[in-house]
Amino acid sequence: MKIPTLTSVVLVTAVHALWAADGPGRAGYGPTVENAAKAPGASPAGMVWVPGGEFSMGTEDPTRMVCEGHGDDPMQDARPIHRVYVDGFWMDTTEVTNEQYARFVEATHYVTVAERRPKPEDFPGARPEDLVPGSILFTATPGQVPLNDFLAWWRYQPGACWNRPGGPGTSVNGREKFPVVHIAYEDAEAYAKWAGKRLPTEAEWEFAARGGASGKPFTWGDEFKPKGKWMANIYQGSFPTKDTGLDGFAGLAQVASYAPNGYGIYDLAGNVWEWCADWYRPDYYAQVARDGLARNPRGPADSFDPQEPGTPKRIHRGGSFICTDQYCSRYMVGSRGKGEPSSASNHVGFRCVMVPAAGAAK
């Protein structure tokens, strides 16, 4: 156990006092109070220490925000904004890449969900000839379509998987530093376990994504495009017909193509969605907020998504290269996403965290 320095104790106390005097800040955000203790050791390769501490989790109603880039979804599942404490941890500075995933597959001969033949019992009524391995691909539509019809731009591609991302005949050659995609939840978990890591909890992910700041709409701050600059790989143009790639990339980008956030972590907004360990429920924040400060929350015991009752879902965070303020602005730092655990697609990947070994200095 490390004794915090006198200065940091005084500082933390002062911040608490300030907040108590004024009540929560605008829209319910209190300050981010980082743990004062230093990292318990050198960071593993490709990871950075996130100190943990107390912060305000969630987002205000984006449709009432004055900033650009907030879309038209009130994101009720990301409220109330509530106080959360997380212990410190290391986090991968980038999304897991194709070359990293390839090393795992080479070492373990792991077969991803997208490469396995779907079981008839999981798809009652499906014709046997339709039960072929594959994954889901975003495909631009030839013309404008209603934005409530997501099947218009998603299709099942037989043979698509992490190292054949467009289906048979495609490969990841030359895309070694691109985020791995077509990853189901168990594929991410298997990699994490092999690497001696684990998937982040949703609270850890958001603490890291906020980069030490509090109440900002974006991982980089208040402005959608500071000085006119794009800060994340998302989608421009008319969704879903043509991605004009104004941010530098139509489709996926190599990891770390944009500036990192306050903790030195890249692409926490846009590029690919990232699996988190928690189950999804839209009322989970309301549940934990009732009990005051939530300490290292790990999500609800089970999942419920009113939009698809009967389909349990895990948390996705960060949004992807097809997020747009016209349709889905979940690149906003406090917003939440969700996915069925066995469903892979070409805009979902992941990154890992690692915690100090038990007994190490706190």
Cβ neighbourhood burial of 158 (10 Å; 0-12, 13-18, 19+):
exposed
CB of 71 to Cu ion, least distance (A): 8
Q: How far is the CB of 144 from Cu ion (least distance, A)?
A: 18
Instruction: Decide if residue 344 touches Cu ion (CB under 5 A).
Output: no
Is the CA virtual torsion 189, 195, 197, 199 positive or negative? negative
Determine if 333 is a binding residue for Cu ion (CB under 5 A).
Answer: no
Closer to Ca ion by CB, 154 or 230: give it: 230
Q: 276 or 323, CB closer to Cu ion?
A: 323
Place of tokens 């002062």: 14
Residue 181 CB contacts under 8 Å (≥ 6 apart), including other chains: 162, 165, 252, 272, 344, 345, 346, 347, 348, 349
> Is 317 within 8 Å of 206 (Cβ atoms)?
yes
Residue 323 binding result from Cu ion, Ca ion, none, given CB thresholds of 5 to 8 Å by partner type: Cu ion
Q: Between 184 and 323, whose beta carbon lies closer to Cu ion?
A: 323
Give the shortest CB-316-to-Cu ion separation in angstroms: 9
Closest by CA position to 235, among listed 222, 245, 225, 227? 245
Q: Are 95 and 143 in contact (CB under 8 A)?
A: no
- Interface with Ca ion in residues 188-247 (CB under 5 A): 233, 247
* Contact between 332 and Cu ion per CB under 5 A: no
CA 316 to chain CA mean position, Å: 5
- Decide which of Cu ion, Ca ion, none touches 288; Cβ closer than 5 to 8 Å per partner kind: none
Contact in structure between 87 and 171 (CB atoms under 8 Å):
no
Instruction: Report the distance separating Cα 323 and Cα 312, nearest Å.
Output: 23
Determine if 267 is a binding residue for Ca ion (CB under 5 A): no
Least Cβ distance, residue 32 to Ca ion (angstroms): 29
Site residues (CB under 5 A) for Cu ion, limited to 270-329: 319, 323, 328
Q: Shortest distance, CB of residue 341 to Ca ion, whole angstroms?
A: 27
Interface residue list for Ca ion (CB under 5 A): 233, 247, 249
Question: Which residues form the interface with Cu ion (CB under 5 A)?
Answer: 319, 323, 328, 330
